Amino acid sequence: MESVDDAVRQLAADLLETMYAAKGVGLAATQVDVHRRVIVLDVSEERNQPMVFINPELLKAEGRGPGEEGCLSVPDVFEKVQRATHIRVRALGRDGEPFEMDADGLLAVCIQHEMDHLEGKLFVDYLSELKRQLIRRRLEKERKQRSTGRDTHASARSTATSGAATPGNSRPAL
């Protein structure tokens, strides 16, 4: 994307609305089948500090640390993933102006996680093959239960973890 026009700004607004409705802290355009390099985030406790990154580019990644991640694309799955603990990113803002910023903590994790989506990668791709197979089987089993109307356990889990995506919780869904 060379420039930011009204269509890109509307996409960012729609992504933010979808992210907030899903109680996530981040969302990439590719997660909603829009093939544009746009990610949105809000890791604030009050959920009132939306961030938009258009054409994000990771300039620096330092340190390494594990953190538990979840994803709106892989519901109710949380696993430890190694990520850089401090990053520097360059992007265009909603106004079309380029900016650079440093990030650490949850913000750094969220930016890296959402940028992975732009490359077609999910957080589970960082896990061992065995863990991926177990997750795949569990999700398939839950999908089959939903399709046959026997979803009482999954509904209970969903209710119990519905707050899991909030920034103050240690299990954000990104």
Q: Enter the tokens of residue 81.
A: 């993933």
User: Known catalytic residue: 114?
Assistant: yes
R_g over Cα of the chain: 16
Q: Is 15 within 8 Å of 118 (Cβ atoms)?
A: no
Q: Which amino acid is at 27?
A: L
Q: Which of 114, 119, 140, 142 does the annotation list as catalytic?
A: 114
CB half-sphere exposure, 137, CA atoms < 13 A: 6
- For residues 50 and 67, what is the distance between their CA atoms, to the nearest angstrom? 22
Q: Are 109 and 67 contacting, i.e. CB atoms less than 8 angstroms apart?
A: yes
Catalytic residues: 114
